[in-house]
Amino acid sequence: MSDKDQKVDRETLANLMKIEEFDDICPPWWPQLLWRLHIPLLGHGPGPINLPPAIDNIMANLHIHTMSYLMKDQNAAQQIRTATEEQIASAARSLSKDHDQAVSKRRAA
């Protein structure tokens, strides 16, 4: 398959490794690869929106879920885990819709 046939070209993938200077502003609750994918690459169009609220919500809830295992009251911790699982699932179901709305707002501006 030629580079032209690929949705993501090799240059774009190589650029993911060149934006390390932005890693110092990556929130500690975001995985670095996900952060790099959300940093707009110079000269490649508008790019994704930095810190999409849905992904930020998912990351925060993953941490809350994991930290609940440190609680002494595991009954309360299970209630927290159940609530965060519901929030993660809801946010994940709305990722495409949220992205499309953000793109529409940017184009309208």
* Owning domain of residue 10: 1-50
Q: Are residues 65 and 106 in the same domain?
A: yes
Q: Which of 20, 82, 26, 17 is nearest to 55 (CA)?
A: 26
Q: Are residues 42 and 77 in the same domain?
A: no
Q: Which of 64, 101, 70 is nearest to 86 (CA)?
A: 64
What pLDDT does 45 receive? Answer: 45
Q: Are residues 23 and 10 in the same domain?
A: yes
Q: What angle do CA 52, 56, 58 make, to 5 degrees?
A: 120
Q: Are residues 58 and 109 in the same domain?
A: yes
Q: What angle do CA 19, 91, 65 make, to 5 degrees?
A: 85
Threshold 0.95, pTM exceeds: no
Neighbours of 104 (CB within 10 A): 10
What pLDDT does 90 receive? Answer: 95
Q: Are residues 57 and 41 in the same domain?
A: no
1-31 pLDDT per residue, tens: 454 555 566 666 566 556 565 566 677 777 8
43 in helix, strand or coil? coil
CA dihedral 64, 67, 72, 77 (to 10 degrees): 30
Tokens of 96: 């495409």
53-98 pLDDT per residue, tens: 888 899 999 999 999 999 999 999 999 999 999 999 999 999 888 8
Q: How many domains does the chain have?
A: 2
Q: Are residues 25 and 59 in the same domain?
A: no
